[in-house]
Structure 1
Amino acid sequence: MTKLTGGRRFGWVVAGVLVAASASAALAATAAQNAVSARQENFKHLGGAFKTINDELKGGSPDMAKIGAAAAQMDQLAAKVPTWFPKGSGVESGAKTRALPEVWSDAAGFAAAERNLQTEAAKLDKVASSGDLAALRAQVKATGGTCKSCHDKYRAPEK
């Protein structure tokens, strides 16, 4: 067995630390990418549900069952939005995301925007089950405004 001198031993320790740091960074990058992918998928479902509602309202005779199901889905998804933005899942992670740093640097403002979405989505769900088309159209506009205000402040435009 070869005895390692102090310098060689130090070199192996440094190499081990660097390997561990690289592995840790790779795991963090993977976790961030997974968070971004899940967030994007969930927002596609949220947007798809909103599109269903808007498309039905544009038609001559809206299918209230479709609208009700889509509104319920929006309400359920809106409740989960706060879990979709873990720290470290922004552009700094290297993941491809349009979430601006303000999501985390203005956490209180972003949390208020999330609560607004939850409130408006819950109202939309309630109004959708009422069958009142005028109230539904008004609530769709209010809910869409909530989405837009958050996108304007916390999401980068498409390139």
Structure 2
Amino acid sequence: MQKSLLHTAFGVLALSLATAASAQVKPEDQIKFRQAGYSFMSWNMGKIKANLEGEYNAKQVEAAANAIAAIAGSGMGALYGPGTEKDIGNLKTRVKPEFFQQMQNVGKLATDFNAAAANLAKVAASGDKAAVQKAFGATGETCKACHDKYRME
């Protein structure tokens, strides 16, 4: 339980520090950058899925997992600053307003995702397809947990 509280506290602290850094980036750029990051992670998740369902190329999986982990750990929380909770001009966002009101829970979800992505990269380096399948599922579950709660369709 203490480990969970520590992870949650770390996630909230990281998001708080990231918010301070976001003041240097215009809100519309924050939205564009976070969408680009999530799109790139999604593309890499798709590459891993294709490898798990077809011919397994351990090097491709490792590269994709490393890209996901790098973006997940890059401070994406800095891209959720003031003004990014709504559309800006023709730039649309799908983040729900509740995201900005429930930072402790968001911090926990972010910490869970970062840990799962880091684990996926670690497991992918082993080349063990079965272990990657399990870590890939766990990473996907952490994505879904946030999407289900804080992303509009």
Whether the TM-score (by the shorter chain) exceeds 0.5 is yes
CA distance in 2, matches of 1:133, 1:65: 11
Q: 2:146 aligns with which of 131, 150, 157?
A: 150
2:72 corresponding residue in structure 1:
78
Alpha-carbon distance, 1:85 to partner? 1.3
CA distance in 1, matches of 2:105, 2:120: 22
When normalised by structure 2's length, the TM-score is 0.78
2:96 corresponding residue in structure 1:
100
Provide Cα deviations, 1:37-56, integer angstroms capped at 9, x if missing partner.
Answer: 11111111111111111111
Unaligned runs of 5+ in 1: 1-27
Alpha-carbon distance, 1:82 to partner? 1.7
Alpha-carbon distance, 1:31 to partner? 2.2
CA distance in 1, matches of 2:82, 2:109: 17
2:43 corresponding residue in structure 1:
48
When normalised by structure 1's length, the TM-score is 0.75
Unaligned runs of 5+ in 2: 1-22
CA distance in 2, matches of 1:134, 1:42: 27
Determine which structure has more spread, i.e. the larger CA radius of gyration. Answer: 1
Greater relative CO, 1 or 2 (CA 8 Å, sep 6+): 2
Does residue 64 in structure 1 map to residue 43 in structure 2?
no
Provide Cα deviations, 1:67-121, integer angstroms capped at 9, x if missing partner.
Answer: 0000000000001222221122111656410011122100111111111110000
For the 8 Å contact 2:87–2:93, the answer to whether it is kept is no
Write out the 4+ residue segments of structure 1 that deviate beyond 4 Å after TM superposition: 92-95
Aligned length: 128
SS of aligned partner of 1:129: helix
What RMSD, in angstroms, separates the aligned Cα atoms of the two structures?
A: 1.8
Identity of aligned residues (%): 31
